[in-house]
Amino acid sequence: MTRQSSMTRRELLGSSLLLAGGLSLPAFAYANSGKSSMLQTRFGKVAGVKAQGVHVFKGIPYGADTRDTRFQPVQPPLAWKKTRDASSYGPSCPQPSERDQTSEDCLVLNVWTPALGDGGKRPIMVYFHGGEFSSGSGSSPIYDGTRLCNRGDVVVVTVNHRLNVFGHLYLARFGGAKYATSGNVGILDLVQALTWVRDHAERIGGDPQRVMAFGQSGGGAKIATLMAMPAAKGLFHRAATMSGQQVTAAGPRGATERARTVLETLKIAPGDIEKLNEVPTADLVAATRASDPTMVGRNVYFGPVLDHQALPRHPFYPDAPPLAADIPMIIGNTLDETRAFLGNEPGVHQLTWEELPERLLPQLHVDIQPEYVIAEYRKLYPKYSATEVFFAATTAGRSWRGAVIEAELRAAQGSPAYAYQLNYRSPLENGRYGAMHTMDIPLVFDNIAQPGSLTGTSAEAQKTADQMSEAFLAFARTGKPTHAGIPEWRPYELPTRATMVFDATSQLVNDPRGEERKLFAQVPYIQRGTY
């Protein structure tokens, strides 16, 4: 078969929830005159641009093309001699949610900095994108670091890395030592990106000892995973997870069954896995649409694997990872997470109380009688409609639960953790988005006017963005998120459970939604994809 390393396809993410940016393939060229900026990396020179007082470099390689080393750990990029154009975003990893530019040569990062090599020792904020471990890109306009740079005198970095079958196909039980870490190479890419940041910190005006990893949804889950990986030790010094938790990783049995499903879809025998290296990129992507062998109603799950190599333990089981006990951590969620996932379900905004139990049962992700849950919610919130109970219960049962577990474990460990809940509700489309999943991204980046933001641009939205972005900037600088624009943000401790509730007027609340927390604590929580 003819090898394929790139695909050009139309982006089909639908809404802005998974946040894709316009992408273009990197090229080699000499910099244009005028507003160009030059950065000498360890592998060659890149030419970016300077705009709004910020030096911007896009699509810088931090790893080699993965096409010839599929399912194996990242290698350093090949050095280049000519100046490389870094004015446009590089490709993202091939994925089922089709994008304009994708390629297996996707190990690139983007840098925004106020100054180059000036000894500024600025905090470096490294953002990992969401989309579970299967889709997304660090190249969305909503992740643009310009406003954070100007607001807080920091360096901002976003990253593309291997996803789905390319980043998490666990082949160790079929291919032996060569593929021992194949289930985690997408996370090992992030280790390589953080290594690049450390090695280039002073060149990009930053401080190698003040690196903050932050990410939303799958990005937060990636950070939680990195906190348990020895290879990432010392590469970041603060962590902030936004609606993204990873309590447990996939086990080797489940991960092997998923790999077997992919192989069967491609008609490759487990003893012939080297044939995977000859499969066209598009066919590997198509195989990800196979049904998961252990989870009903979804395509094959890809995520980190407990391989006892790259990942020697579960991220947050049975306790918070001792490896990262000294790293201050922000753990946040939004009040109406599941409006993002379930808000377009047919009839969901017209639910009756009679319809609610059967609609609720498959969406809770924990096994509990829906009638019991509904009765408890009607006691707690007698003015809620059936639709409001649906979104509240699904958020608390499936999205918020992992965040609570992680915060509790950090508190039990005596490690610094700061919890937040975003209550700011989007006014768009008559408020149907609420404070849904992804709503915190443009607020933290102070990018409420960028394409993809669903916050609106009202004074209330900007006030919330001011408070959230300043909190993250303060955290990057000092490891503590308190600043003059919000009440004192105390750590999350037991039993008080102090939580910053962000809104146009924010407040620190002890144990918000405590009764909901207790309700779902009655049944076990098992991270999706574990088995």
Q: What is the pLDDT along the chain (531 residues), one digit of tens a residue?
A: 333 333 322 232 333 444 433 333 333 333 333 478 999 999 999 999 999 999 999 999 999 999 989 999 999 999 999 999 999 999 999 998 766 799 999 999 999 999 999 999 999 999 999 999 999 999 999 999 999 999 999 999 999 999 999 999 999 999 999 999 999 999 999 999 999 999 999 999 999 999 999 999 999 999 999 999 999 999 999 999 999 999 999 999 999 999 999 999 999 999 999 999 999 999 999 999 999 998 888 999 999 999 999 999 999 999 999 999 999 999 999 999 999 999 999 999 999 999 999 999 999 989 999 999 999 999 999 999 999 999 999 999 988 999 999 999 999 999 999 999 999 999 998 888 999 999 999 999 999 999 989 999 999 999 999 999 999 999 999 999 999 999 999 999 999 999 999 999 999 999 999 999 999 999 999 888 888
Rounded to whole angstroms, how far apart are CA atoms 284 and 94? 9
Distance CA 376, CA 389 (A): 10
SS (H, E, C) 274-339: HHHHHCCHHHHHHHCCCECCCCCCCECCCCCECCCCCCCCECCECCCCHHHCCCCEEEEEECCCCH
Amino acid letter, residue 129:
H
3-state secondary structure 480-531: CCCCCCCCCCCCCCCCCCEEEEECCCCEEEECCCHHHHHHHCCCCCCCCCCC
DSSP E strands: which ranges in 321-394? 329-334
Superfamily for 332-520?
Answer: Alpha/Beta hydrolase fold, catalytic domain (3.40.50.1820)
Residues 407, 405: Cα–Cα separation, whole Å: 6
| Cβ–Cβ under 8 Å, residues 481 and 330 | yes
Q: How far apart are the C-alpha atoms of 382 and 342, rounded to whole Å?
A: 22
Question: From CA 39, how far away is CA 306, in angstroms rounded?
Answer: 38
R_g over Cα of the chain: 22
Q: At what angle do helices 185-200 and 218-226 cross, to 10 degrees?
A: 80
**Ranges in the chain annotated CATH 3.40.50.1820:** 6-242, 332-520
What's the residue count for the chain? 531
Query: Given the structure tokens 């709004």, which residue do they identify?
Result: 52
Distance of CA 106 to the CA centre of its chain: 17
* Tokens describing residue 32: 């244009």
pLDDT the model gives residue 397: 92
Would you tell me which CATH number, out of the four given (3.30.70.260, 1.20.1050.10, 3.40.50.1820, 3.20.20.140), belongs to the domain 6-242?
3.40.50.1820
**Which two structure tokens, joined as six digits, stand for 241?**
């997870």
* 340 touches 437 (CB < 8 A): yes
Statement: the pTM of the whole predicted model exceeds 0.85? yes
Tabulate helix, strand, coil % of the chain (nearest 5): 35, 15, 50
What the block records as the tokens of 253 is 């049995």
